[in-house]
Chains A and B, each alone.
Chain A
């Protein structure tokens, strides 16, 4: 009942203010003090009621006494630590909020206000392309390249798939963006995979020597920056999953982690107002290595061949199976590929 007597207005202008309004002007409100808190906390859904506060600051707005009229309290939190970005996932939530409490003898009057925090980053110093040769021996060998390993949320993934060996009848190829949220630790680790986007990049069966362009705009998807071991409670990671589907609906895929980061608005705005659309030839020009230079530098760590996974099940991650061990080399498979896909 008491709560209903008070309305708070928290004004987030240059000057932060709390306006405590009495519902019935003229009446009195007795209190034990009024305080405002700034809280940053992580809520794990399986562990309700047990919130992990990583930031908590308190400011006293009024000493115990009586409120007889609407009162405006100015407040300020200086140099607040906001180490993490707000996040709402399937098993975890990270939130910041302001809480005003009018302390009373029986029940406090409380008002909370959520604050969204974005962690802005600068252009990463190191941003290598992801380049890798993968395959299944005597079956399929491809080299793929994404122009970066770190993308901001409005970025464009530009890349290329180069087919070194094709002996399966490929139906199509897509790129999926997978979000992997990991919560808890030890035996209580929960992992939740969510496919954010599925994007077909190739239709039909290529032959050896084909190179297929990739261009995926990220801005249209609901993405967050990558989060690593946030307060030892959870992580959010992003993967690009390159999936090839053959005519018998077998899936061959390779996941590659990418780092997402949030770019400062200002620079982003500049990018948006640029007159020309994002094109392969202009936007992709940065460090784009033509795919047919696939005989990669041995010192380049990305040049090693890795296995792809083959998955016969519809459920992408339930039964991964490695088809072939890892010592296959690209050259060993460069036998006549033109015969592939020909008449039986």
Chain B
């Protein structure tokens, strides 16, 4: 009896979760994590001229509710239709609005070296910073492992970015492995080390870097020892996979017993995931033992779901928890 009144546990807040077509599978998993999260639908149609014809059914029913939208900007073509919904929802007298955008794209291309470079990540941040406020104040934006740390500062004051990470999912998974005591974490460059080393400091680490030799750029091991270890290369995302493959070769050459990889975002444009083969219990230079990615990039998940060495670590639990903030 006393326990109940002393209990500091807040009742979970009910959330109405909307999603786009490509995030439907992840949205269903999120809703399955908690009774407090209810899936809602949107009618996504197109006019003949290609512009969206959108309708939010039962819009009156979300008044006074906490509302979230699970977005995925996998290509520029799908941004406008989702944006239209994102700009419309906060104005429907809801009590709060959260935008979950697991992967913040265009982030990798922000090497503004010249005044002529156009920062598309900044354009996206600007567009999101202008989401109208709802009765609950500024929109919360949940995103995972944003590529460049300075991008956190791209957002204006009318949005509350919540920067989450997929690393806890990796740590969980690593603890389940039979050789979990033989694991070392390798960072492909200093950028990855900066981003992740604090979350992984109880593992021995290896840091690689790219060194210029004439015209070529060669991956070298800067610090750490791979010999006899199950080395897990950790980075925020993968595109063509070139960097990971170079790291894999160097680690194998330095005696790694097994090599795996983790990235939060498996972008893999043009099916570049095909370059990654399973080691089949054999040599680490031939293949990876595991390649973990999260479900932030739904198109990739569809393609690699049942293909070794890939394993999907779902963000659903983490997102369900973030929706309670």
Q: Do A and B share a complex?
A: no
- B interface residues (Cβ-Cβ under 8 A, vs A): none
